[in-house]
Structure formats: C-alpha cells, structure tokens
Structure 1
C-alpha cells in the first residue's frame, strides 16, 4: 500500500513526533484566500516564524485591488524569507522622477506619477525556491526550476534549470533536452495523488523509462 498523503485542504500538513502539527509549514491553497492569488494543490511554504497572513508575507505588494495576479503551480516548495515582488510595487521610471505622488494624495485616476498596469508573475509546477529569493514583477519560471538561495529572478526561466545569483542566471540544466520534453509531456503533478504515491520512486528518481511506464498506467485507466 502506498503511503497516505495529506489533503491539500489541510493548512498544516506536517505532523511532528509528539502528534502536534508543525506550525511553520503550510499548504498555501489552504491558508490563502486572496482574489489575486492562484496557487496549486500541495504547494507549500515554510518560515522560521510563521506569519499570521501568508499572502501578505509572501507577496506584500499584491493588494486585493491590484490588476496583476500571482500564479503558482502544484507541488512547489517555497523556503523561508522568499518574497514575490509583484507589479504593483513598481514605480514609473521613464520620466525625471520615480516618486509615486499619487500614493500620498490619493488621486489615482490618470495620475502622471503612476506606472501602467504590470504583468502577472507566473511560477510553474514542482519549482523549488530557495531561502531569501526575490521574484521580480512579471517573472515567468518554468516547471521544475530550482531557484538558489538569495537569487533575484526576473524575466523568463526555461523549465528544469538551476538558477542563482543577482541577477539570477542559469547555473546548469537539470536534464537533457529530450528528458525535459518528456517530463513536460508526462506532467506527473496532474496525476491523482494515489498514483503519485505509488510511483514516488520514479518521480523522485532519474529513470525516465520508469516514469514513462507510470504515465502509461494513467493513460490506460
């Protein structure tokens, strides 16, 4: 029998040895109720000191009235002190001053000090974001990417890359292009959780033939 995995609707999915829940790790889909967030099942975040408001902690400038969205896929892993700096944090920088006058006089309509609407920030599936990383407005991070601790990420990151630094740059590809193509086709994160648990070894290993065989089982069901 495969192990039983907790429901993505559980806020605190880690049970400690004494039977209590670990308060500093959460499934984000269970604890975030925010109109500009979209987060997939089983994506978790951890903090050395759990915030009372995970949405504000992770994306402090993504207001409920913001035009942009933060979209995060399934099975992502978000370490302590990660921040998503979404587009509403931007200032206008094409003029002589970047000062946001409208924030203080509160007359926003047509105000010359405010930038235009910015892009969504999109994180793929099974992305690991290391401690203290900063994800800048409009970043698009592909499936399976590993973001190094303290990295500052902007622009588009291809799937299954390891990136690090400021600005973040590719360190290496995790797999060959043909394996990456197969992984993007298989999309194991969309399988039922019971099938994922049965084939955890294939998912966490590096045997593409074993994983492809597990995918074929799904296809014939």
Structure 2
C-alpha cells in the first residue's frame, strides 16, 4: 500500500524520533488548540508542550490557536495574558496573589492589559528558545528565528528575529506568497500532499503556479 504520511492521531509520528510529538495529542487544556501535524520537538519527553504555555488561565478567556504543519522547537515559550500586571496604579506588584489579606487588592480584569488570543498560522517554524508574547498573530509560512522575542504580528511568509523581534525579510517574492496563500496546501488531503511532495519541497515558481491553476480549475 502506498503511504500517505504519518497518522495525525499518534503522539509520535516516527517512533524512532521520540522527541518529536504531535501537539494536538498532548493537549489537555480547553484554551489551547492545534491543527494536524503540528509538532513540538524536545529531547526530554517529560517536558509537556503545555508547560511551555505560561500564565494561561481559563477565567481570563484568551486562547492559544496553532494551525497545521507547524514546527515548534525546544525551549519555545508562549506567554499568555495572565502574565500581565496593572500598569496604571502606583505599583505593578500583584499583592492579591500573596494572601494574608492582600487579596483585597485583587484587580478587575478590565484593569489588566489584555492583548487577546495568540494565533499561529499554518506551516510556521518557530526556532528554539523563542518567546511569543500575548496577543501576537504569526501568519502562514512565517519563520521565527531562535531566541527571538515576538511582540508584534508577523505577516505570512516573513522571517522575524531579534529582541524585540522585528521583520528581517520576506521568504519569497509577492507573487509566490500570493500563490501559496491561495493554494492553502495544508488543507489538502494526505493523499494529495503525498502526491505533490516534490513540488511542496521546492521553490520553483512555475510548479507552484501550475498547482494553483489546477486548484482553481477544480
């Protein structure tokens, strides 16, 4: 039988490389979602993906949404809105979590900075030890350099790096980016992806243009 790739419902897509684990099959929190084939890579199997999503409390309501086919390296941290402190008061110190009567100073949610959901598109590669700050959106096909701190949105098929993160360059020209965003290959069936691996693993504009034309004709 012709293979159509790994089973997206397995924890380890390749049992011989156990440090690679599909994220959606590790998730227990209702405020995190991940698409098929997105993986987290860490040689320490005791490190759960959810441990890399910090300050994430259901009562705040923010979501971490990860698309399909994302590659997330070891040490990446997603800091969520629960990390924020009051900034408009005299002190930013969180007296309320210390107890001993100081909980009387518990702030209303409206008093805390809130950046919204953190959204990672499809086919995004996040290098090791990168930090993604609350409310950031990273577009399809983007690359985040190792050790980057991403504080602002990253457009599709752009590369960001540094601390604070900044856009370094586009991955491809405008025409190819437009074709890829139209193609949305990550939504294809496993059979179609398998049949087109050679094209997906190249940067030949003519081949991509041909695939886009076929998709429009269907």
Q: Taking structure 2 as the reference length, what is the TM-score of the superposition?
A: 0.89
In the alignment, the residues of structure 1 paired with residue 10 and residue 212 of structure 2 have an alpha-carbon distance, to the nearest angstrom, of 27
Answer yes or no: is the 8 Å Cα contact 2:8–2:22 preserved in 1: yes
- Whole-angstrom distance in 2 between the partners of 1:108 and 1:218: 58
Give the equivalent residue in structure 2 for 1:41: 36
Residue 97 of structure 1 pairs with residue 94 of structure 2:
no
Q: Aligned with 1:182: secondary structure?
A: helix
Q: Is the 8 A contact 1:99 1:113 kept in 2?
A: no
Matched, 1:191 2:193: no
Map 1:126-137 onto structure 2 (within 5 A): 126-137=123-134
| From 82, 106, 110, the counterpart of 1:88 | 82
Count matched residues: 215
Q: For residues 105-137 of structure 1, what are the alpha-carbon distances to aligned partners after superposition, in whole Å with 9 as ceiling and x for unaligned?
A: 356875499615441111111000001000001
Deviations 1:46-99 (A, max 9, x none): 1131235321x2202213444100011110000010000011111122222111
Compare 60-69 and 141-150 and name the one that shifted more. Answer: 60-69
Q: Which residue does 2:48 correspond to in 1?
A: 53
Contact 1:143 1:159 in 2 (8 A): yes
Deviations 1:23-57 (A, max 9, x none): 321101111121101111100001131235321x2
Does residue 69 of structure 1 match 2:63?
A: yes
Picking from 9, 25, 32, the partner of 2:20 is 25
For 2:86 and 2:125, locate their aligned partners in 1 and report how far apart those are by CA, in whole Å: 31
| SS of the residue 2:168 aligns to | strand
SS at 1:170 equivalent: strand
Structure 1: segments with no counterpart, 5+ residues: 17-21
Alpha-carbon separation, structure 1, partners of 2:215 and 2:170: 28
SS at 2:54's partner residue?
coil
TM-aligned CA deviation for residue 165 of structure 1: 0.5
Alpha-carbon distance between aligned partners in 2 of 1:196 and 1:54, rounded to the nearest angstrom: 26
CA deviation vs aligned residue, 1:139-161 (integer Å, no higher than 9, x gap):
11111111000000011111111
* Cα distance in 2 between the residues matched to 1:136 and 1:130: 15
| TM-score between both structures, scaled by the size of structure 1 | 0.88
Aligned counterpart in structure 2 of residue 160 of structure 1, from 152, 157, 162: 157
